[in-house]
Amino acid sequence: MPAAAVCAGTKTQRQSETANMSESYRAFHQRSIESPEAFWSEQAAMIDWQTAPTRIMDADTPPFVRWFVGGKTNLCHNAIDRHLADRADQPALIHVSTETGTERTFTFRQLHEEVQRTAACLLELGVTKGDRVLIYMPMIPEAAFAMLACARIGAIHCVVFGGFASGALASRIDDATPKVIVSSDAGSRGGKVTAYKPLLDEAIRLSTHKPDAVLLADRGLAPMALVPGRDHLAADMAARVKSTEVACTWLDATDVSYTIYTSGTTGRPKGVQRDVGGYAVALAASMRHIFDGRAGDTYFSTSDIGWVVGHSYIIYGPLLAGMATLMYEGLPTQGMDGQPDGAIWWRLVEKYKVTVMFSAPTAVRVLKKQDPALLKKHDLSSLRALFLAGEPLDEPTARWISDGLGVPIIDNYWQTESGWPIITLANGVEHMATKFGSPGVPMYGYKVKVVHEATGEELTAPGEKGVVVIEGPTPPGFMQTVWNDDARFVNTYWKSIPGRMAYSTFDWGIRDADGYFYILGRTDDVINVAGHRLGTREIEECISGHAQVAEVAVVGVADALKGQVAMAFAVPKDAGALTDAGRARSLEGEVMKRVNDELGAVARPSRVMFVAALPKTRSGKLLRRAIQAVCERRDPGDLSTMDDPASLESIRRQLDL
């Protein structure tokens, strides 16, 4: 039975499905844990190797793991060159921008040419293997060319989310110390153009490290003043370089492919370092076992190349699998003519026959504010599944999109650090039942446990709450270390649980009797009300079930009497609750009653306040720590990745009323 039907079924039905259907995935997972070398050596056959590895796994110096030691390969070769024999004229990169009203398709052959051209420019600028190239780009094809060109010549790319302010960019320039920066004149969001070049110039002025050169794609959106001797227009440079054939540099599997920063939700972002061979194998395996991505099909991830999802599932994963990847620039609710269009993504699914789609709960919540009929306007018969990741997927949101699209909605739990899903359903191995509120079960290669955060003791009873940890050796694709900071890697991630050497996800979770995990929020976000420990997510989930609530954040705020109390900030569907004090009061009362009835009085927030928007990172994650700091009149800390500062201000104002 397809998971969609299971999704729509009752809880009892779903549970009996689980019991019958999960056996073979369980065996698959068990083999990956008991015989990791045999398991991953099989997976490694999914990619091309120039030299086969001599040792599959070296876990001699925990927590560090080296995968496919002695092997030589190249991510760009596997993403492009290896497909030329069979699918040179098949679409590889489809770029759609509702910001500029443009659509372009590059076949594998054309992508091969473009990437070599960019690689030739980087070589001309003196970039060699191991050099860092920082990419500060909007979602345009040139950004993909630059990433793949780095992979081709063995340069380490460091993509920084386009549009980050100069200070955030400067600290990343100092951390990555790039030889070259690749950028563009401007990005655009909702029709508003942001000139990148002045932001970049200011960042380079602020940084201690200075790049040798800046390579710029000119989209014609904003004027650029070039710094002589340092700045180069990509088009001019491409015309100047003589050879447009650049062979792949064969890299050690354990060489560094890229660094990427975490979202900065809980504090100063960490520079995650990833390898070449392990990552290629992990992604190829995930395309088969998790996403069921088939060569020739189209994959559409709505993420941004600035995030790990963009690296793994806009650029590398789909291309490794021989799929076309759809790269989208624009809001989820904007048409090709720049006018509002809540059905644009579904229009693209129909037009490009998208089979696998990947997005985030935050995007679905944006769509939820639109007319549900928009989900039915287009032919979505090509679509096999929608994967969602990045944040807890609350049941009302999952149901809404599941009912609307009629395809399985698969929650994915993972982190920048892991590079690919940690907990989800491996439907390519076996169809397992979806349970609302749970991303699923640990993926092959991952030994996931729930432990007591103070004693490190494993909690095995169903429903016992603890910290979700991963025991080493971590699988291929997982971070190698923190860039330039092995000590931070070991101390931050592996030594936070007393008495246990395990990687902490810093997320709080439980496991049910069937082995399904539920993520209850971040360990920082646990609220302790008079000795009762509550995950913010549980309260948020309950509040978001109220028909009038579009979105909600719950934080724990210090309280002299109870230790902490919960406070809720909600975006109402009816904007009237924002301006009409009477309506706000009655909605607040209803929300409190709901929490009281469903979770009990301890969980009831002391206040429910209504705001037009919640503070989020640029990747759409709720910045609860910032809300909490404002509520407690503390300094909110590093806000370099915050999207809309006005939203935090409006919370501050509400509190002062």
User: Which residues of this chain interact with Mg ion, rule CB under 5 A?
Assistant: 262
Choose the one of ligand ATP, Mg ion, none that binds residue 390, judging by a C-beta under 5 to 8 angstroms depending on kind. ligand ATP
Q: Which of 108-116, 259-267, 330-338, 590-598 is the region at the interface with ligand ATP (rule: CB under 6 A)?
A: 259-267
248 binds ligand ATP (CB under 6 A): no
264 binds ligand ATP (CB under 6 A): yes
Minimum CB separation of residue 271 from ligand ATP in Å reads 10
341 binds ligand ATP (CB under 6 A): no
390 binds ligand ATP (CB under 6 A): yes
Contact pick of 171, 259, 263, 312 for ligand ATP (by CB under 6 A): 263
* End-to-end CA, the chain: 54
Q: How far apart are CA 210 and CA 170, in angstroms?
A: 10
Contacts of 193 (CB under 8 A, 6+ apart): 186, 187, 221, 222
304 or 507, CB closer to ligand ATP? 507
What are the Cα distances from residue 237, in Å, to 232, 243, 349, 375? 7, 12, 36, 45
Q: Which of 349-357, 377-385, 409-417, 488-496 is the region at the interface with ligand ATP (rule: CB under 6 A)?
A: 409-417
522 binds ligand ATP (CB under 6 A): yes
| Residue 90 one-letter amino acid | Q
Q: Evaluate whether 254 touches 68 at the Cβ level (below 8 Å).
A: yes
262 or 359, CB closer to ligand ATP? 262
Minimum CB separation of residue 644 from ligand ATP in Å reads 17
432 or 553, CB closer to Mg ion? 553
DSSP H or E run through 141: helix 141-153
Q: Which of 277-285, 312-320, 389-397, 487-495 is the region at the interface with ligand ATP (rule: CB under 6 A)?
A: 389-397
266 binds ligand ATP (CB under 6 A): yes
The per-residue DSSP string of 10-53 comes to -HHHHHHHHHHH-HHHHHHHHHHHH-HHHHHHHHGGGS--SB--
Q: Which two tokens stand for residue 608?
A: 């429910």
289 binds ligand ATP (CB under 6 A): no
Q: Which two tokens stand for residue 315?
A: 């650029």
Contact pick of 68, 346, 358, 413 for ligand ATP (by CB under 6 A): 413
Contact pick of 211, 332, 404, 439 for ligand ATP (by CB under 6 A): 439
Contact pick of 63, 293, 317, 392 for ligand ATP (by CB under 6 A): 392
What are the b/e assignments for 2-25, b being 16+ CB within 10 Å? ebbebbebeeeebbebbeebbeeb
Choose the one of ligand ATP, Mg ion, none that binds residue 277, judging by a C-beta under 5 to 8 angstroms depending on kind. none
DSSP code, position 265: S
260 binds ligand ATP (CB under 6 A): no
Contact pick of 265, 355, 481, 564 for ligand ATP (by CB under 6 A): 265
Q: Which of residues 490-509 bind ligand ATP (CB under 6 A)?
A: 505, 507
CA nearest neighbour of 158 among 139, 130, 194, 196: 130
Number of residues that bind ligand ATP (CB under 6 A): 25
Minimum CB separation of residue 417 from ligand ATP in Å reads 6
Q: How far apart are CA 448 and CA 464, in angstroms?
A: 14
What are the Cα distances from residue 222, in Å, to 142, 228, 514? 17, 19, 55
CA nearest neighbour of 464 among 477, 476, 453, 475: 453
Q: Which of residues 595-634 bind ligand ATP (CB under 6 A)?
A: 619, 621
365 binds ligand ATP (CB under 6 A): no
Minimum CB separation of residue 1 from ligand ATP in Å reads 24
540 binds ligand ATP (CB under 6 A): no
Q: What is the CA radius of gyration of the chain?
A: 24
Minimum CB separation of residue 414 from ligand ATP in Å reads 6
Q: How far apart are CA 169 and CA 649, in angstroms?
A: 23
438 binds ligand ATP (CB under 6 A): no
411 binds ligand ATP (CB under 6 A): yes
Give me the half-sphere count of Cα atoms (radius 13 Å) on the Cβ side of residue 250: 10
Q: Which long-range contacts (CB under 8 A, 24 or more apart) does 452-461 make?
A: 453/497, 453/523, 454/498, 455/498, 455/499, 456/497, 456/498, 456/499, 456/500, 456/502, 457/499
Q: Which of 168-176, 279-287, 412-420, 557-565 is the region at the interface with ligand ATP (rule: CB under 6 A)?
A: 412-420
Residue with the shortest CB distance to Mg ion = 262
CA nearest neighbour of 104 among 116, 91, 117: 91
Minimum CB separation of residue 386 from Mg ion in Å reads 24
The per-residue DSSP string of 611-635 comes to -S---BBTTS-B-HHHHHHHHTT--
Q: How far apart are CA 276 and CA 150, in angstroms?
A: 12
Interface residue list for ligand ATP (CB under 6 A): 262-267, 269, 389-393, 411-416, 439, 505, 507, 519, 522, 619, 621
